[in-house]
Structure 1
Amino acid sequence: MAKSSADDEELRRACEAALESSGTKEKIVMSIRVSKSRGIWGRSGRLARNMAKPRVLALSTKYSSKGQRTKAFLRVLKYSSGGVLEPAKLYKLKHLSKVEVIANDPSGCTFTLGFDNLRSQSVAQPQWTMRNISDRNRLLLCILNMCKELLGHLPKVVGIDIVEMALWAKENTSTVTTQANTQDGPIATIVTENDLKVTVEKDLVSQAEEEDMEALLGTYVMGIGEAEAFSERLKRELLALEAANVHAILESEPLVNEVLQGLESAMICVDDMDEWLGIFNVKLRHMREDIESIENRNNKLEMHSVNNKALVEELDKLVERLRVPSEYAASLTSGSFDESRMLQNIEACEWLTSALRGLEVPNLDPCYADMRAVKEKRIELEKLKTTFVRRASEFLRNYFSSLVDFMISDKSYFSQRGQLKRPDHADLRYKCRTYARLLQHLKSLDKNCLGPLRKAYCSSLNLLLRREAREFANELRAGTKASRNPTVWLEASSGSSQTVNNADTSNVSDAYAKMLTIFIPLLVDESSFFAHFMCFEVPALVPPGGPASGDKNGLNEDTNDDDLGIMDIDENDRKEGKSSLELGSLNESLQDLLDGIQEDFYAVVDWAYKIDPLRCISMHGITERYLSGQKADAAGFVRCLLDDLESRISVQFNRFVDEACHQIERNERNVRQMGVLSYIPRFATLATRMEQYIQGQSRDLVDQAYTKFVTIMFGTLEKIAQADPKYADILLLENYAAFQNSLYDLANIVPTLAKFYHQASESYEQACTRHINMIIYNQFERLFQFARRIEDLMYTITPEEIPFQLGLSKMELRKMLKSSLSGVDKSFSQMYRRLQKNLTSEELLPSLWDKCKKEFLDKYESFVQLVAKIYPNETVPSVAEMKELLASM
């Protein structure tokens, strides 16, 4: 017989290790391997093995110091993926209510354990299958023994023969470990199977039954083969006992009859009682139904009362919402738009707006939206809105036109002869403010109505603005006295024009500045007022204290009174970050409002240009300063106007520059030019005036003009010089020197002119060098030509061989020296006279003569060194002698 797993010490230690790892302090009483399944035994009576899972059942005990008792547990352990035992489930033996051996298992090794505390009794209980009957009996006996000793009760046992269990316990005397409670706690004891047998027999069979069973078994001495005979005998004795019991019952018939009579009378009373109870029950049921019917009727009446009250309240609210007050209806349909009646009109607009919103689905219960009364009232309100918007729009169009017509008809509003009139729109804006709130409500009622109103306002006010600008510009020009400077600045003619050019024309640029000072803030204010007044939802055009409110000199004395507060009428309707479409619509309207006024600005610019073209520089700077102050996108027209003015001024100034350049280029047509060309000193005068006129940021404009002027001047000078090569260098050096002398002071402060100053200086040095070399070579041609021939031969032959070359012998050297240096003082005098002969600028002669002497001495020193190297024994006048001779002249 194979060894039982209950005696496997390795298995017991593995179970103890698993329990220790889980942190419990339980003692293992028994551990045994089993197979777990939930399958159903088939017809073949064999368990589906593929559903069985290996498990280990362990019986354990734990002492509880709190209750001074020992607790018993049944633990289920399973194998992990690594083959290590780990706790799977825990059952308390005190809840064990049933032990049942599966009848379908012919081996008898499969059983179930029923616990009364399992939550779901619908789930099939696990079936435990042992390896053999011995293992099964050993486990079940241990469970029953622990239940009896530790818990004091036994579970129900089904499918197990108690006699068979007792016989098995008697035959198996192997020792098992159990626990007993003592005063000091549970201790482990070793008992024999005989002790278990006695305990089990005490549990399962009483002492008297055991004695009778032993006497009965002792009567029959039978082997295993006489079991069927013994069974038959027991059946016969059972039948005999049953017959005896029936006989005893028949003998007690009188007593039975008496009892039956008593039962019959009691049954009659019970039937009567049942009949009465039935009657009362029917009456009570009818009464309950009546009470329920009365309660239902009362509840319905109460519900009807509450609903009717709520319905009346809702209908009152709806009727109040649908009612049109007579005073509002009169204001909307036929009321006057006089200033005294505007408060009533505004109240009517507010009521109409709220009434229309109140009939929309978000503010009105959707169940009312399709009611006929609501639809009809909505149509009525729409008619009121259409009528009021049409009447108000027609009134405002006529009102704008009448205001402007009244102002245009009164000449005192405009500039007159001898008197400049600053445009004053305070009264106009004050009258318009009266209807600012009306426009806001018209926008909320019908946005489409604002388009025609904006066009009407722009059309009317455009006439007024253009009239004011025209009258102001005309009187500004008529009242400005200035001498006209000719545009002939750089041509060859001379005379009184130089004096004319110095005339003071500052009042021309002052007039232009005054035009901008008066009208640019006005146009910005008008743009801002229009944007606010006509309900364009855009940011403020000019912040408080912004540049557009006046220039730094305080020329704009008008106060900023255009803070209408219109945007505060309904702050809930404001939307930050309006789309570019709204801004584009505003700029289109501003174009209609201000278009045409630019012509008067252009006229002032053209007038100033005709008087003094150089004033374009001042006007350009003034325009740039105003342009830098206009940062608001909503004042788009004003920015475009300033851009156009700046472009027009630049075009006019460039026109002047082109004409002056054309005057310079005409100089090359003359037959012969001598001395300093006329446009050189004139350009210095022009540059000085231009620097005086620079304002603001117009430096680039002037620098571009300088670049164009000087480029044409130098180009023309080179062309004139090329026309007569004999005197070209004299013309160039005199003019470049004059350019430097006339622009010395300006070149120190103007970077652009400094660049051209250095360019003229380089050209001057080059012309001087060429002219001096020409004079020296003309006077000492044989001397320096002889030296040049020697220098050329030194590249190909040695110095010792040069005296033997043709024309370079010592004899030729002596002849050349005699002819060139005899009377050298006269040669120097001739050089001086030739240098002086064609020079018109006498102040340049000393410096040129010094350059000429230095250049000759440098060349002569090179010649002396060359002769000393080639002709070492020849005597040549020294450089010191030549230097002394030149110094004495």
Structure 2
Amino acid sequence: MAKSSADDDELRRACEAAIEGTKQSIVMSIRVAKSRGVWGKSGKLGRQMAKPRVLALSVKSKGQRKKAFLRVMKYSSGGVLEPAKMYKLKHLSKVEVITNDPSGCTFTLGFDNLRSQSVAPPQWTMRNTDDRNRILVCILNICKDVLGKLPKVVGIDIVEMALWAKDNTPVVTTQRSTEDGEPVAEAVTESELKVTVEKELVSQAEEEDMEALLGTYVMGIGEAEAFSERLKRELQALEAANVHAILESEPLVDEVLNGLEAATNIVDDMDEWLGIFNVKLRHMREDIESIETRNNKLEMQSVNNKALIEELDKVIERLRVPSEYSASLTGGSFDEADMLQNIEACEWLAKALKGLEVPNLDPIYANMRSVKEKRAELKILKATFVTRASEFLRNYFASLVDFMVSDKSYFSQRGQLKRPDHADLRYKCRTYARLLQHLKSLDKNCLGPLRKAYCSSLNLLLRREAREFANELRASTKVSRNPTVWLEGSTGSSQNANTDTSAVSDAYAKMLTIFIPLLVDESSFFAHFMCFEVPALAPPGGAGSDKRPNNDDGNDDDDLGIMDIDESDKKTGKTSPDLTALNESLQDLLDGIQEDFYAVVDWAYKIDPLRCISMHGITERYLSGQKADAAGFVRLLLGDLEARVSMQFSRFVDEACHQIERNERNVRQMGVLPYIPRFAALATRMEQYIQGQSRDLVDQAYTKFVSIMFVTLEKIAQQDPKYADILLLENYAAFQNSLYDLANVVPTLAKFYHQASEAYEQACTRHISLIIYYQFERLFQFAKKIEDLMYTISPEEIPFQLGLSKMELRKMLKSSLSGVDKSIAQMYKKLQKNLASEELLPSLWDKCKKEFLDKYESFVQLVAKVYPSENVPGVTEMRGLLASM
């Protein structure tokens, strides 16, 4: 038989090393296989394979108390034992040997403290039944000794366990001789052995009695038949003694039977009485239940009545209209002193109306007659108050504006520009801001007429302020008016360039500085005051914020007492459905004021059209600063002003272009056309006026001017083709000279500068070629014939062609190159004769000499190819001749 793993000292030491530090000692360690449901039906394998484990029984002493544990060890990846689980044996409630395992080597241990009893406990499988019995006997002994109790054992006979334990318990035997001389084995004392099953199953006294009983039969135990016969005789004697004892006890039995009969009669009487009492108790119980039912109904009725009274009190409280609120809503005053009471009445009315709606009122009350009547009464109160308040506010807005319009001190007067101040107007309006908020919550439809009334009244004031300010602004600005003739031959053009008209654009800027922030503030105030659910129109630090009037109205526009209305919508900045309505109202509020801005623009244009550039830049700067005022009237106004300035400037550009085109109808012109230098002066001044983002406006004007200038120049040149190139090169040169400095800093002018340079080079090339061919026509015509023939025949055949013989070459050279110095001098005189700009002559003469040398060098090369034996003056000789002249 193989050695059991329970006797493996190495295994025990590995287990002790795994629990080192726990102050526990190992009693037994044995190898097992762990599985869950391994043995299923028909002995087939279950869900998972078995895993090798080691079960170790350990004991920990704490004073006189001992604690026992069952430890499960598993092998790590390195083959070292390490603790996996630990169970306390005091919670062991059941030991069950699995009957599905044919070998009987599989068992489970049930603990009563496991959290999940629904999960099947692990099954432990031993190598053989000896190992199974050994571990189970050890567990039972420890439970008996340490804990004083035994778990329930299922699936194995406890007697078989005891017999196996007795057979397999190691004992130390001693030899002693009986009287016959036979050796008899004597067990050692219990203190010398480990705990065994016999100690657990049979007590010491029982064991002594059994030994004494067996000792009486020791002498005859060898004769089985005699011993059996003796036992039979003793059994018969015992049976006879029992029958005799029974017969002797008959009187006692009769006495007991009589006593039982009497007791039966008494029990029957008691049963009858108990039946009577039971009937009476049943009737009494029914009476008590009836009384309790009636009592419960009365209590329920009392509770319901109390709750009903409370509900009715609440409904009555909702339906009651306080007399002071009713008086305020129907006939109260709207003076400033009474506004607090009016606001309280509005708040109560709004709350009362909401309280009678289904979400806030129990639906069972919604159709009650009293609730319907009270709801109708509150609606009448609401309509009455809204009508009265709307009428008062319409009259109030009109009276405020009429008072300000009738006082001339509010507006600009002769000699004094008056900055509009609406601080007092807004302060008086803020008194009724909360009233407007409550009117909106009571009836949104009432705000439309009120908004129109406010816009109509304030529009009169704003237009009057703008008109008086614009009139006084123009009257107080003193500048001399310049004629709009810039690009034609006018005698006054020289004075125009020196006239300072900056006061014109400063006046326009002042108009915007005063009124744009005012209009933005008015738009923002109107949006808040009239309860529009839109984001704020005038953000802090917007355009013109640094130019606000020095009053208390600068940052108080939001202090209307109504910022709590739809505050969340304003923070999120989402598009409000009221934005369209707000823009329509702002159109009514500010419409017509643009005419006064247009008047300033037109006035500035008449004084100095070029100031449109400055005004365009100022307008764009304000327009870029109003991005937060999305789709507002102020942004539209600035856009219209920008379009107006652009239109007036375009008008000036068109008139100037018309003046340029008029030069086309003049009689033959020589030299530099007058609009070339005047355009340079105009461009210089335009660059001085550029402000902000008006670069595009000026670049468009440059494009239109220069395009018309170049087209007109070409048309004038075509009137006299003989002198066309001279006129073109002189004017293109003048254009480049006059705009050289500006072209270095203005990309648009640089583009036209390069265009003029290319046109100048082309005109020079054509004019110089014309002069050269005029003087040396035969020479270069002869070369042209040779070049044309070289495309079709070889150079050796050319001297045999008609008109190209060597004799013809000699005649041509004699007529063209005899007196060549005189011919070159004639070229210089002809170049000088028709040129009006003397400063261009040196550069043109250099170009002429270079062009002539290039053409002559080509001629010499042709002659060398076709007439190799002919002698022609060389290029070096001709270059020296030209250099000496």
TM-score normalized with structure 1 length: 0.72
Tell me the CA shift for residue 706 of structure 1: 0.7
Opposite residue 839 of structure 1, the aligned amino acid is L
The aligned runs of 1:391-790 (5 Å cut-off) are 391-415=388-412, 420-477=417-474, 485-491=482-488, 494-496=490-492, 504-551=500-547, 560-561=553-554, 563-566=556-559, 568-569=561-562, 571=564, 574-575=567-568, 576-580=571-575, 581-633=577-629, 636-668=632-664, 672-789=668-785
Tell me the CA shift for residue 874 of structure 1: 2.9
- Which residue is 1:246 aligned to? 246
Alignment length (residue pairs) = 840
Opposite residue 334 of structure 1, the aligned amino acid is G
- Which residue is 2:79 aligned to? none
Conserved 8 A contact 2:423-2:552: no
Opposite residue 615 of structure 1, the aligned amino acid is R
CA distance in structure 1 between the partners assigned to 2:551 and 2:90 by the alignment: 105
CA distance in structure 2 between the partners assigned to 1:458 and 1:303 by the alignment: 65
Opposite residue 815 of structure 2, the aligned amino acid is S
Opposite residue 572 of structure 2, the aligned amino acid is G
Partner SS state of residue 26, structure 2:
coil
CA distance in structure 1 between the partners assigned to 2:779 and 2:139 by the alignment: 151
Conserved 8 A contact 2:94-2:154: no
- Which residue is 1:390 aligned to? 387
- Which residue is 2:225 aligned to? 221
The aligned runs of 1:859-874 (5 Å cut-off) are 859-860=855-856, 863=859, 871=868, 874=871
Tell me the CA shift for residue 295 of structure 1: 13
CA distance in structure 1 between the partners assigned to 2:810 and 2:681 by the alignment: 58
Closer/same/farther in 2, CA of residues 473 and 26 from structure 1, 3 Å limit: same
CA distance in structure 2 between the partners assigned to 1:206 and 1:699 by the alignment: 130
Conserved 8 A contact 2:411-2:418: yes
The aligned runs of 1:252-263 (5 Å cut-off) are 253=251
Partner SS state of residue 221, structure 1:
helix
CA distance in structure 1 between the partners assigned to 2:118 and 2:815 by the alignment: 148
Partner SS state of residue 547, structure 1:
coil
Conserved 8 A contact 1:177-1:188: no
Deviates more, 1:176-185 or 1:523-532: 176-185
Conserved 8 A contact 2:621-2:692: yes
Structure 2 residue 822 is the aligned partner of structure 1 residue 829: no
Listed one character per residue, the Cα deviations across residues 334-393 of structure 1 (whole Å, up to 9, x for unaligned) are 111112322332333344455556667887899988887777665554443333222212
Tell me the CA shift for residue 713 of structure 1: 2.0
- Which residue is 1:42 aligned to? none
CA distance in structure 2 between the partners assigned to 1:30 and 1:863 by the alignment: 120
Structure 2 residue 26 is the aligned partner of structure 1 residue 25: yes
Tell me the CA shift for residue 703 of structure 1: 0.8
Tell me the CA shift for residue 530 of structure 1: 0.7
The aligned runs of 1:840-851 (5 Å cut-off) are 840-851=836-847
Deviates more, 1:368-377 or 1:519-528: 368-377
- Which residue is 1:336 aligned to? 333
Tell me the CA shift for residue 589 of structure 1: 2.1
Opposite residue 243 of structure 1, the aligned amino acid is V
CA distance in structure 1 between the partners assigned to 2:156 and 2:608 by the alignment: 136
CA distance in structure 1 between the partners assigned to 2:154 and 2:697 by the alignment: 120
Tell me the CA shift for residue 520 of structure 1: 1.3
Opposite residue 682 of structure 1, the aligned amino acid is R
Tell me the CA shift for residue 769 of structure 1: 1.8
CA distance in structure 2 between the partners assigned to 1:789 and 1:850 by the alignment: 28
Structure 2 residue 849 is the aligned partner of structure 1 residue 856: no
Tell me the CA shift for residue 273 of structure 1: 13
Tell me the CA shift for residue 842 of structure 1: 3.6
Closer/same/farther in 2, CA of residues 671 and 294 from structure 1, 3 Å limit: same
Opposite residue 243 of structure 2, the aligned amino acid is A
Conserved 8 A contact 1:99-1:155: no
Tell me the CA shift for residue 153 of structure 1: 10
Opposite residue 532 of structure 1, the aligned amino acid is H
Deviates more, 1:879-888 or 1:11-20: 11-20
Opposite residue 221 of structure 1, the aligned amino acid is E
- Which residue is 1:105 aligned to? none
CA distance in structure 2 between the partners assigned to 1:862 and 1:615 by the alignment: 59
Opposite residue 434 of structure 2, the aligned amino acid is R
Closer/same/farther in 2, CA of residues 17 and 518 from structure 1, 3 Å limit: same
CA distance in structure 2 between the partners assigned to 1:631 and 1:472 by the alignment: 26
Tell me the CA shift for residue 11 of structure 1: 8.6
CA distance in structure 2 between the partners assigned to 1:579 and 1:597 by the alignment: 30
Listed one character per residue, the Cα deviations across residues 262-289 of structure 1 (whole Å, up to 9, x for unaligned) are 9999999999999999999999999999
Opposite residue 521 of structure 2, the aligned amino acid is D
Deviates more, 1:777-786 or 1:87-96: 87-96
The aligned runs of 1:60-209 (5 Å cut-off) are 177=170, 186-187=193-194, 203=207, 206=210
Conserved 8 A contact 2:144-2:200: no
- Which residue is 2:176 aligned to? none
Tell me the CA shift for residue 464 of structure 1: 2.7
CA distance in structure 2 between the partners assigned to 1:72 and 1:186 by the alignment: 20
Partner SS state of residue 587, structure 1:
helix
Structure 2 residue 844 is the aligned partner of structure 1 residue 839: no
Closer/same/farther in 2, CA of residues 533 and 215 from structure 1, 3 Å limit: same
CA distance in structure 1 between the partners assigned to 2:150 and 2:417 by the alignment: 127
Tell me the CA shift for residue 818 of structure 1: 2.7
Tell me the CA shift for residue 328 of structure 1: 2.9
Closer/same/farther in 2, CA of residues 31 and 579 from structure 1, 3 Å limit: closer
Deviates more, 1:388-397 or 1:16-25: 16-25
The aligned runs of 1:307-386 (5 Å cut-off) are 324-353=321-350, 380-386=377-383
Closer/same/farther in 2, CA of residues 650 and 118 from structure 1, 3 Å limit: closer
Opposite residue 225 of structure 2, the aligned amino acid is V
Closer/same/farther in 2, CA of residues 401 and 261 from structure 1, 3 Å limit: same
Opposite residue 25 of structure 1, the aligned amino acid is I
Closer/same/farther in 2, CA of residues 754 and 372 from structure 1, 3 Å limit: same
CA distance in structure 2 between the partners assigned to 1:696 and 1:648 by the alignment: 17
Partner SS state of residue 25, structure 1:
strand
Conserved 8 A contact 1:169-1:197: no
Tell me the CA shift for residue 394 of structure 1: 1.9
Tell me the CA shift for residue 526 of structure 1: 0.7
Tell me the CA shift for residue 400 of structure 1: 1.4
Tell me the CA shift for residue 767 of structure 1: 1.1
Opposite residue 542 of structure 2, the aligned amino acid is G
Tell me the CA shift for residue 13 of structure 1: 7.6
Conserved 8 A contact 2:853-2:875: no
